[in-house]
Homo-oligomer: A and B are copies of this chain.
């Protein structure tokens, strides 16, 4: 399953170079991951168990700068799932271009939000994620 989130890039999304800055990109990507998680019922499941996914490693390649006034599409998909971690890939496209503007990979783990400790990804959460992997 590949999820899509669309954004209009505003003046406040861009910096003095006129393009979207790397920290702003991370926020747009994070919101897209949340929308993906919400769309598959994961947000509720995590909240009920007081669990959360946190990022332990991330990589971003910026291929084409993104400017104010552009419409972008973020695709989000789960690529791999291990016993205690997994990888989400997110690509950014400009609406009127086929080329990828940004490519990113996020390595995540599941934590107990009270203790902060990493825990195995099992049970209902594992089942849910197995069903949406797009290798």
Contact = CB atoms under 8 A, between A and B. Distances in A.
Nearest to A11: B16
A68 B22 contact: no
Number of copies of this protein chain within its complex: 4
A96 interface: no
B34 A10 contact: yes
A31 B10 contact: yes
B23 A17 contact: no
A57 B52 contact: no
**Chain A interface residue count: which class?**
35 or more
Contact of A23 (B30, B43, B52, B62): B30
Interface string A41-60: 00100010000101111111
Interface in A78-115: 111, 113
B22 A52 contact: no
A5 interface: no
A128 interface: no
Interface of A: 8, 10-19, 21-24, 26-27, 30-31, 34, 38, 43, 47, 52, 54-63, 65, 68-69, 111, 113, 116
